[in-house]
Amino acid sequence: MAIKGFNYQEFAQNLTAQAQELVPQDFSPQDKQYVVNTLLNFSTLAGEAIYNDTESNFNADQAMMITQIIAEWSFHKSVDLVRSELPQQFWDPIMQKIAFTIFEIAKQTFKQGLPQDQILQLIEHHVKKTYLDAIAELKDKGMINEALMEQAAKQSNIDAMMQQMSETEQEVPQEAPQGVPQQTPQRAPQEAPPPPATSSKVLKLATVALLFRKMKQEKVQSILNKFNPEDAQTVIKYMGMPDLESRVSVNTALRCLNEIRTNLPKPQEFSPSKIVAKIQNVTQGIERQQLETILKHERMKVRRLVFNALEGEYYEVPPKVANIIATHIQDSV
């Protein structure tokens, strides 16, 4: 059933008209047109998909909100791509990945009834992750060099807009008409950290946020991916606070860092005897001919490691590498 009150084509056109006024003036006519066309294309596609979605039961407000979020991020990340100096042939594939990510996360979070600020935080986190992952993939495939990857990775039009707003200390604007991009980016409101009597975990997360501010964005994203979603959102929120340093004292930060270091798991030891035992355990009950078939396409050293282990011997490869191979065998059988 179509969504009553949601004209996705008209809505996408309105968003595009507003975007034309906000495209950086230093862009060439071709680059300006790319930004505008990208926003129009993805907001139209998203609006049409939501309009025809018969399962999610979105109302008009939700449909417009999701389309609006996609439009805004399409604007910001296409601006980033223009400034990235990446060859233009890579722009559309990267934007497609970002738009798909936003669409899926927005749909799921709205269906779950999450608060709007939490939805925006999740989307921002995953947009940045998808953008950096796509650039890193180009580097890994040899399509761009490391310098170009770093140049692209540091682009963030939404952060630049937020910084500019902060520096100019504008008065609180009147409520903007519905549509994106607005002069105030769609971002989750920043909440103040709890008072000093808060839990140890909150202070540790705030300390981690301070530490992440000094690290490269791609490294931060790779670490945050290992956090549970709630903690990752908290860290992201704290990283966006301009006065975080004044809220967490030096002594508190040092104490939290020491506690974190103390509680880190000890590095796992991979002794040859343990690796031999692990391989023997995972291959138990597998006939040699079947094992040879499984390992047929592996390198010679991998096959020697496995078959030597079956005889109770260790083939000399670095223990960490041997453990990775043993784990791979475990997942393959």
- The three-state DSSP-derived secondary structure of 107-135 is HHHHHHCCCHHHHHHHHHHHHHHHHHHHH
SS3 state at 224: helix
Predicted local distance difference test score (pLDDT) of residue 108: 85
Gyration radius of the chain's alpha carbons: 25
Which two three-digit tokens encode residue 258?
Answer: 């020491």
Output 74 or 224, whichever has higher pLDDT. 74
What would the mean pLDDT of 201-226 be, rounded to a whole number?
Answer: 75
Which two three-digit tokens encode residue 171?
Answer: 């008065």
Q: What is the pLDDT of residues 161-199, one digit of tens each?
A: 766 655 543 333 333 434 444 444 455 444 434 333 345
Q: How confident is the model at residue 40 (pLDDT cuts 50, 70, 90)?
A: very high
- Percent of the chain at pLDDT > 90 equals 22
133 vs 110: CA distance, rounded Å? 25
Output 18 or 195, whichever has higher pLDDT. 18
The answer to whether residues 36 and 19 touch, using CB atoms and an 8 Å cutoff, is yes
CA dihedral 216, 78, 146, 228 (to 10 degrees): 40
Taking the alpha carbons at both ends of the chain, their separation in whole angstroms is: 47
232 vs 224: CA distance, rounded Å? 6
Among candidate residues 143, 185, 144, 191, the one with its CA nearest the CA of residue 166:
185
Predicted local distance difference test score (pLDDT) of residue 31: 93
Residue 26, by phi and psi: left (phi above 0), alpha (psi -120 to 50) or beta?
alpha
**Burial of 97 (C-beta count, 10 Å sphere; 0-12/13-18/19+):** middle
Window from 113-122, 256-265, 303-312 with minimum mean pLDDT: 256-265
Q: How confident is the model at residue 84 (pLDDT cuts 50, 70, 90)?
A: very high
Predicted local distance difference test score (pLDDT) of residue 236: 80
